Amino acid sequence: MKNSGKIALGLLAGLAAGAALGVLFAPKKGKETRKKLAGKAKEYGDAIKATANETGEMVADIRKDVRKHAEKIYNN
């Protein structure tokens, strides 16, 4: 679980960096480029927030499982 979250975050960061560089080097006017870049930044920011929320939920589930197993071990 730990590695999959890091991989997803790394993938999203790589996509964001690639998109930003692609937009910056595209032959468009500055205003259009800034608008497009802002849109992509919001899009990737939303994706990162969603990934962070999913990761938080996974951590909470794992914590519950660990607690259950620890209680079983303690009670036996």
pLDDT tens profile 26-64: 776 777 878 888 888 888 888 888 888 888 888 899 999
Separation of alpha carbons 14 and 48, rounded Å: 12
Domain interval for residue 33: 2-75
Average confidence (pLDDT) over 56-76: 90
Separation of alpha carbons 13 and 44, rounded Å: 8
Residue 1 has pLDDT above 60, yes or no: no
Q: What DSSP string runs through 6-55?
A: HHHHHHHHHHHHHHHHHHHHSSS-HHHHHHHHHHHHHHHHHHHHHHHHHH
Structure tokens at 8: 């997803």
Give me the number of domains the chain comprises. 1
